[in-house]
Chain A
Amino acid sequence: MRRKMLLPIAALAALALALGACGGDGGGGTEEGDGQVTIFSLWGGSEQEAFKKVLTQFTEETGIKTKYESARDFLPVIRTRLAADNPPEVAILPRPGFVDELARDDALISLEDLGLDPDKINENYNDTWIDLATFEDTTYGVVAKANSKSTVWYKPKSFRENGFEIPKTWAELEQIVKDYKAKGKTPWAVGAQGRDNSWTLTDWFEQIYVRTAGGENYDKLFSGELAFDDPTVKDALNEMLKMVNDQYVSGGIDTALGISFIDGIGRVFSKKPDAEMYMLGGFVGGIALGQVNKDLKVGEDIDFFPFPEIKPENGNPLVGSGDVAAAMVNNEDVAKLIEFLSTPQAGKTWVSTGAIVSPNKGVTDADYPNELVSKEAEQVKNAESFRFDGSDLLPGTLGQEFGTLLQKIVKTPDKMDSLLAAYQAGAEKAFANQ
């Protein structure tokens, strides 16, 4: 008798909870806070230290404590906590694509719902940045930090010794690469291992694509209007393979796919380097100086030059990224933190660490502590045109899969056509489901 009872009881329980599951979630206005705000992001190491300074300032001014949590597998943590109704109060989302997805499922609290005035907050930013934090005309957060990604890191001393000049065109860069190789040095290091580092390859691709195919095509590609197996994509990939290949990359492609981006930076800038240049965003400076090798001298051992132009008609657009700070829980403390992050003050404190470039209009050049970041900020401000990191704009998991796609292409370039076609098939579905 007991055995026969177990199954129906369990089934009833399942039914009851399944019915309860389909219910919605309550709205509710802005409640009082509890004196502490939890913030979640994926920054570790030196990026984390820099952000904590901003949080300390916030606590000093408002008396509200903060608790910072981080995890590299950012998305699973957010999802499990959402599923358990236990989200962090503020999340720093590294991709605008996430903003859209979470906003659509009512997981984010809009600025208005927080009791803030979106227009006032948005005064601090250009339209480009505001767009990132907006979904269907409602603003859900503030762009907390920005980075230029059109930077190539090199060692000025090495350039001097070898008689190299800063390349202004792709052809000049290719020549430098060949010259380095002829002298027995490895021109590039790449760190693109697994899921957490495949985005370094997407950065390579985007810089090249926007310069070979032009800004318009770039926009079309990453919004689903242009197919990924279009000839312009293959052209850009072939240019990329001219640099990212077994010959010119430290340890070959296998090593590149086996180490993290921090280790890749280490291959160029650590005390035991074995490569000369590293292509990645402006934040490399902060990481190299703060974590990899504290003895680096800016201007001697480390500096960057802007990514060179490839086709003159497409000029030199800037491809960059930004992180959006958004609220997932509605209370007064959270509102205050979001507001604080949008102030020029917060921006100044943050940039003073040398880790970031602030998109905030109120932050001036003088606020930057070292040449590297102020140079980057200049680059961001004076960009002829600006494009956001494409893979971060892709919906759903497409962005992550783009990185995986590039990993496969650099490993087996002869399979490029079939890989692109397969990816395009998935992309069509993802864009259709949006």
Chain B
Amino acid sequence: MATAEAAVSGPPRASISERIVGFITRTPVHLALLLIGVVWLVPTVGLAVTSFRPRSDIQASSWWSSLLDFHFTVNNYQQVLDRAGMSDAFFNSLIITIPSTLLPLTLAALAAYAFSWISFPFRDTIFLIIVALMIVPIQMALVPLLRLFRDWGIADWYGGIWLAHTAFGLPLGIFLLRNFFITLPRDLIEAARVDGASNLRIFLKVVLPLSVPALASYGIFQFLWVWNDLLMALIFVQNSDLWPMTIKVNQMQSQFGGEWHLLSSGAFLLMIVPLAVFFALQRYFVQGLLAGSVK
């Protein structure tokens, strides 16, 4: 009977005593993981809970004691969106992030293709130089770029930050995508060449469709990087109307001191998009991170 069962339902289930022993020896593991889970969840949960509490409640009692007698309100979010300008800041973040993702994605893909499947002199050396540029800290470029944007007359709108993010996102993108393109089947590319397809056509019709996972990984990585950026926005987005959420939330800190009802909801609005992206596209994000572990 045991073997028949096993054939149907996999390996035999451990006997009760085996399971108890197993559990006891694993209890320290469970305990440790419980502690870890608590440390990792409590900070975020605490702020989340606070963002839904009315201001007077926050001042009167702690968030954990309120869990049993919770007054739920979305007032804080309303306030922060309407009166503190977070809804504008949200759109600003979008306007900054989307071009700063699509542009480097395009340019990096084009370049990565050439580095993978076109042969030209000094190809590998140039590639190496580009990879080396990955570690140049943005601090090296803040002042010169400011002056460049001044000379080009684009300092008071988004032009500057789009260009800056694109440029600094290129090395990683080229590195990631080239490493992926190279793994594509040589025969496929050769066959297309024999058919007389131009490089552009091979790129568009053969390489790109097969590279969606890599493109997605880099795209998501770059998207989150730009969405979460603070320093470059501080320097290059000069008009306060155009400030993205990272700057806005930071300003709220100094303007509203201990007004945690506003700060918590502001911070959460900042986190919504990255969290959504993370949960929906977790695999791509992790892949991008793993592959690009040098940015």
Question: Which residues from chain B sit less than 8 Å from chain A, CB to CB?
Answer: 56, 59-60, 121-122, 125-126, 129, 143-144, 146-151, 155-156, 160, 234-235, 238-241, 251, 254-258
Contact = CB atoms under 8 A, between A and B. Distances in A.
A21 B257 CA distance: 40
B257 A263 contact: yes
B131 to A, nearest CB: 14
Contacts of A169: none
B260 to A, nearest CB: 11
B251 A71 contact: yes
Contacts of B254: 44, 72-73, 196, 260
A20 B121 contact: no
B258 A80 contact: no
Contact of B149 (A2, A84, A259): A84
Given A3-B122, A3-B125, A270-B59, A21 B147 contact: yes
Nearest to A48: B255
B103 to A, nearest CB: 21
Given A3-B122, A266-B257, A83 B251 contact: no
A70 B59 CA distance: 27
Contacts of A86: 150, 155-156, 238
Interface string A268-296: 00111000000000000000000000000
Interface residues of A, number: 32
A296 to B, nearest CB: 15
A70 B155 contact: no
Given A44-B254, A84-B155, A86-B155, A3 B129 contact: yes
B59 to A, nearest CB: 6
Interface of A: 1-3, 6, 17, 20-21, 44-45, 67, 69-73, 76-77, 80-81, 83-86, 196, 259-260, 262-263, 266, 270-272
A113 B10 CA distance: 90
B59 A81 contact: no
Contacts of A259: 257-258
Please provide the 4 A-B residue pairs with the shortest distance between their CB atoms, ordered closest to farther: A44-B255, A84-B155, A262-B257, A72-B254
8 contacts: A2-B121, A3-B122, A70-B255, A83-B143, A84-B156, A84-B160, A86-B238, A263-B258
Contacts, number: 78
Contacts of B146: 80, 83-84
Contact of A45 (B122, B126, B256): B256
Given A45-B256, A72-B251, A262-B258, A2 B122 contact: yes
Nearest to A2: B122
A77 to B, nearest CB: 8
Contacts of B239: 69
A76 B151 contact: no
Contacts of B149: 84
- If over half of B's interface residues share one DSSP class (helix, strand or loop), that class is named, otherwise mixed; here it is helix
Nearest to A72: B254
Given A263-B257, A263-B258, A80 B240 contact: no
Contacts of B129: 3, 6
B238 A84 contact: yes
Nearest to A259: B258
Given A2-B121, A72-B251, A84-B149, A272 B60 contact: yes
Interface centre among B148, B254, B257 (most CB of A within 10 A): B257
A83 B147 contact: yes
Given A45-B255, A81-B238, 15 more contacts: A1-B121, A44-B256, A71-B240, A72-B255, A77-B238, A84-B150, A84-B155, A85-B155, A86-B156, A86-B238, A259-B257, A260-B257, A266-B258, A271-B56, A272-B59
B150 A85 contact: yes
Nearest to A3: B122
B129 to A, nearest CB: 7
B237 to A, nearest CB: 10
A70 B85 CA distance: 13
Nearest to A73: B254
A2 B126 contact: yes
A81 B143 CA distance: 11
Contacts of A6: 129
Contacts of A76: 234
A242 B149 CA distance: 53
Nearest to B247: A71
Nearest to B144: A17
A262 B121 CA distance: 64
Nearest to B142: A80
A81 B251 CA distance: 17
Contacts of A71: 240, 251
Contacts of A73: 254
Contacts of B59: 270-272
A111 to B, nearest CB: 26
A271 B59 CA distance: 8
Contacts of B150: 83-86
Contacts of A17: 144, 147-148, 151
Contacts of A21: 147
A80 B148 CA distance: 13
A161 to B, nearest CB: 24
Contacts of B255: 44-45, 70, 72
Nearest to A194: B254
Contacts of B155: 81, 84-86
A260 B258 contact: yes
A1 B122 contact: yes
Given A45-B256, A259-B258, A69 B147 contact: no
A70 B240 contact: yes
B288 to A, nearest CB: 28
